[in-house]
Amino acid sequence: MSWAVPIAMPQWWLFDMLALVFFVLIVRAMMRRPKESGGRTDSGSRLGIILQSFGIALAGIGAVRPTLSWYGAPAIAGYVAVLLLMGGAVALFGSSSTELGKNWSIEARTLDDHQLVCSGVYAHVRHPIYLAMLLFMLGLAVSLGHLVQLIIAIPVFLIGTRMRTDAEERLLEQSFGNAFIRYRDSTPALFPKIV
C-alpha cells in the first residue's frame, strides 16, 4: 500500500528547478563568507542540523504516484502549491542570507566583529532561514505527494530547529546582551505576525 497522494510529474520537475536555485543560493552564501577567525561557536547546534536534515529526508522518502493528468484541476493545484512553497523558500533564503552577509554560517557561531541583524526580513522574524527550510520541506512533500510523511517529518524538523535557535540565541545574547533581548522579545522566532 502506498501512502503517496497522486501527483502530476511536472510538480516534481518544478520542485527540482526551484530546489536547484535554493542550493545555488546556499553555495553563494558559503562562498561570500570570509575566513572565520575568533568568535564563539555552539556545537550543540550540530544535533539540530542533523534532526532538521532527517526531517527533510523523511518528507522525501516513499513511493511516488505520478498518475494525475497534467492539465486537470488537482495537478494545477499541485503546481501552484509547489510554486508558492518553493518560491517562498527561495525568496526567504536569498533575502535573509544576503541580509546576514558575513554573519551567515551553517553552524551556530558569532564572530569577533559580528553584527546583530534586525533589518529586512529579520525585522519580521528572527529565524527566516529556518522558515525557508520548512517551506522547502513542505514543497518537497507536496511535489512527491508525501503528505502523510509530514506527520513525522514536521515534528522532527521543528525539534532540530528549536535546538539550533536555542544555540544561536544563547550566543547572540552573550554577544549583544540587552540589544538582543529587546529584539528577541519584540520579534517572532519562526512565523511572522500577520498584521
Q: Cell for 38?
A: 575568533
Q: Give yes or no for a contact between 36 and 113, defined as CB atoms under 8 angstroms apart.
A: no
Q: Band of the pLDDT at 116, cuts 50, 70, 90?
A: confident
Q: Cell for 161?
A: 530547529
Read off the pLDDT of residues 62-78 as tens digits, 9 standing for 90 and up: 999 999 999 999 999 99
Q: Under CATH, what is the fold of the domain 9-29+43-186?
A: Four Helix Bundle (Hemerythrin (Met), subunit A) (1.20.120)
Please provide the DSSP assignment of 77-103 as one string.
HHHHHHHHHHHHHHHHHHHHHHHHGGG
**Which residues does residue 40 pair with via DSSP β-bridges, in sequence order?**
110
User: How many CB atoms are closer than 10 A to CB 178?
Assistant: 8
What rounded mean pLDDT belongs to the chain?
90
Question: Averaged over 48-61, what is the pLDDT?
Answer: 95
Closest by CA to 96, choosing from 6, 26, 9, is 26
**For the chain, which residues make up each domain, given as ranges?**
9-29+43-186
Read off the pLDDT of residues 171-191 as tens digits, 9 standing for 90 and up: 888 888 899 899 999 999 998
The residue among 44 and 137 whose pLDDT is bigger is 137
